Structure 1
Amino acid sequence: MFHDLGSALAGLGSPALAIVLFTVAVRLLLHPLYRAAVRGEKAKAELAPEIRKLNKRYGKDLQKLSQETQKVYKKAGVSMFAGILPMLATIPFFMVMYRLVTTPNPLLDGTLFGFSLGTHFTSGYAWVFLVLFALLAVVAFVTVRWQKAQVGPDAPQVPFARFLRVLPYGTVLVAAWLPLAAGLYLLTTTSWTIAERALLYRILS
């Protein structure tokens, strides 16, 4: 399957460009799910002040807290899992993309600036990886800043908050262990993610 798909994409011309375009095509296909996820997240965010009040009032009574929280969501017509289920539906698509850019196939036989898309950073020095890491770090920085702006200074601290803030930078470490093709895919999809979410948060009411 992945060999045939890789052959078809490689036949379009530049394999590197094919990875970018195919990633964009998949993200466009998944766009309705992301719209649903953002709508759910925004709906839950509007209820956040009321949920915080419940936490202060019933924090020691978890059963009562759960019951009252469910009442708030039900009254507002919002699912407690809003924003989560649409994202779970995207997992199979990303599994396909991951296998495509990591499983040997004709697509990985292509090159980017003279370097094979199947090359690993750990297999030898290649300046193109340093550029890739820098771009991934920039995208991660923008993502963290945007997430921080959405949360706001008055939001309560959540468990593992520091870990969540550095999590986007994990793409750099992942790219260091995967083929160049996978790094190119990560750069494309993470850039698309932050741009898409920022736009949806702005235009969706």
Structure 2
Amino acid sequence: MSVFTHLVAQLGRLLEPVLAESATAAAIVLFTVLVRLALHPLSRAAFRGATPMAGCLPMLLQLPVFFVMYQAFSSAEVGGAANELLGHRLFAAPLGGRWTDALGEGGVFGAPGLVFLGLFAAIAVVAAWSAARGRRAAAAAPPVPVALPVGAAKGAAVKGAAAKYGAKGNAGAKGNAGAKGNAGAKGKGNAHAKAGAKASASVAASGLPQVTAEQQAMMRKLGGVLPLLSFGTLITAAVVPLAAGLYLLTTTAWTVAERVWLQHRKERQGDAAQRSSP
């Protein structure tokens, strides 16, 4: 933790001529950006997976960093010496202070309270942006092929063929050609059964994901709930030190912006591949 404290303090000193007492807050944002840049290759690999849980690994790897950030702005001493970070502020609010402390110093609209309100508003905007994009992505996702046993596919094909060509056979019977119509229905029904079985086998051999209808329904529900989890960051920011809240805001905004950029890049590559194909 002392290494982290030293790094943030050094970054704050570099920014102090420009940002004065808010330099340490800016150093926390810069530190968060450096962490996310280091994790970007993992985020890009997770995005290629195109699963609802894409990005979980980068999030898990950030937990130790967040824990260190929390401890650095909650402990009065670091390595046996006074914690110099606790004396720094973001405007009127100390970086080690919590929202409950701000409420006790001036209420919701006091000077420290307004800083926390600004933080909450920024987190809410990012969360709403994330939720809106998540819902659009879930609605635009192509349906996953549903696995059907070969016997079921064959039975469905036979039933459909019998219904289709049985009607033609009846019409043929009225024109004194019923035997021929029934023979045609039987032959074409067998052909459709073979085609249905062949299509089912080709889907299985193609390596495409095959799920049941119940699993598809569960995936749709999960895709609608996951974007709403972004608003849980608001609850966390209300109980952790202000410095940790800044970290949460920065990393959440980075995550959303990163996915927007990766999606845009993927679409551009797809368009380029379509133009180059004959």
TM-score norm. by structure 1 comes to: 0.71
Instruction: Give ranges in structure 1 of 5+ residues lacking alignment.
Output: 46-82
Offset from partner CA, 1:91-127 (integer Å, 9 cap, x none): 23x1232123211353343210131100000123221
Residues 165, 30 of structure 1: alpha-carbon distance in 2 compared, 3 angstrom cutoff: closer
1:96 aligns with 64
For 2:258 and 2:140, the matched residues in 1 are separated by: 23
Instruction: Give ranges in structure 2 of 5+ residues lacking alignment.
Output: 14-22, 76-82, 104-112, 144-215, 270-278
One-letter amino acid matched to 2:126: V
Assess if the C-alpha contact under 8 Å between 2:88 and 2:94 holds in 1. yes
For 2:2 and 2:32, the matched residues in 1 are separated by: 17
Assess if the C-alpha contact under 8 Å between 2:97 and 2:242 holds in 1. yes
How far did residue 89 of structure 1 move?
5.7
Residues 90, 173 of structure 1: alpha-carbon distance in 2 compared, 3 angstrom cutoff: closer
2:158 aligns with none
**Percent identity among equivalent residues?**
40
Assess if the C-alpha contact under 8 Å between 2:70 and 2:241 holds in 1. yes
Query: CA RMSD of the aligned region, Å?
Result: 2.4
Kindly report structure 1 stretches of 4+ aligned residues shifted beyond 3 Å: 105-109, 153-163
Alignment: residue pair count: 163
For 1:160 and 1:30, the matched residues in 2 are separated by: 25
Q: 2:260 aligns with which of 194, 198, 201?
A: 198
Equivalent positions of 1:63-82 (< 5 A) are none
* Bigger radius of gyration among the two: 2
1:129 aligns with 116
For 2:87 and 2:7, the matched residues in 1 are separated by: 13
Residues 108, 40 of structure 1: alpha-carbon distance in 2 compared, 3 angstrom cutoff: farther
Quick check: 1:37 aligned with 2:37?
A: no
* Aligned partner of residue 123 in structure 2, secondary structure: helix
For CA contacts below 8 A with separation 6 or more, give which structure has more relative contact order: 1
1:166 aligns with 228
Residues 37, 147 of structure 1: alpha-carbon distance in 2 compared, 3 angstrom cutoff: same
For 1:108 and 1:146, the matched residues in 2 are separated by: 37
Assess if the C-alpha contact under 8 Å between 2:39 and 2:58 holds in 1. no
Quick check: 1:116 aligned with 2:94?
A: yes
Q: 1:106 aligns with which of 84, 102, 107?
A: 84
How far did residue 201 of structure 1 move?
1.2
